[in-house]
Amino acid sequence: HTNTMRCYPQFWTPKGATDPVQDWFHKYVVTKVREEDNVAGARATVTSYEYLGGAAWAYDDSEHTAAKERTWSQYRGYERVRTRVGDASDGDPQQLTEHRYFRG
């Protein structure tokens, strides 16, 4: 299976339908988090995330899913994720960390 996009096939039953249909859904990932100090007024901490290596999907072999409705819909994450702490737009230095994941 070679889907490396952030979308995946899944069966579901729309309201009023009797049979499930296969549709595509999107996997949303966090790209930026801003932490605000609302008490002491310290500068905000900005953390951004970059996802590398393409998304990985595994085949759904759950016994709770009918065999004919199983798809490549089990999210396995990304090969690498780069995390940057600090807001470059404010002139702050950034701390860069890269994590590698072995997906299975």
Tens of pLDDT along 12-45? 999 999 999 999 999 999 999 999 998 998 888 9
Residue ranges per domain, the chain? 7-12+21-100
Q: Are 61 and 73 in contact (CB under 8 A)?
A: no
Mean pLDDT score of the chain: 94
Please report where in the chains the tokens 């990304």 appear, as a residue: 78
Tens of pLDDT along 37-69? 989 988 889 999 999 999 999 999 999 999 999
- In this prediction, residue 41 carries a pLDDT of 83
Pick from 1, 53, 4: which is nearest to 27 by CA?
4
Task: Read off φ and ψ for residue 69, nearest 5 degrees.
Answer: -110, 10
What confidence tier does 95 reach under pLDDT thresholds 50, 70, 90? very high
- In this prediction, residue 7 carries a pLDDT of 97
Query: Of all helices (H) and strands (E), which one includes residue 79?
Result: strand 74-85
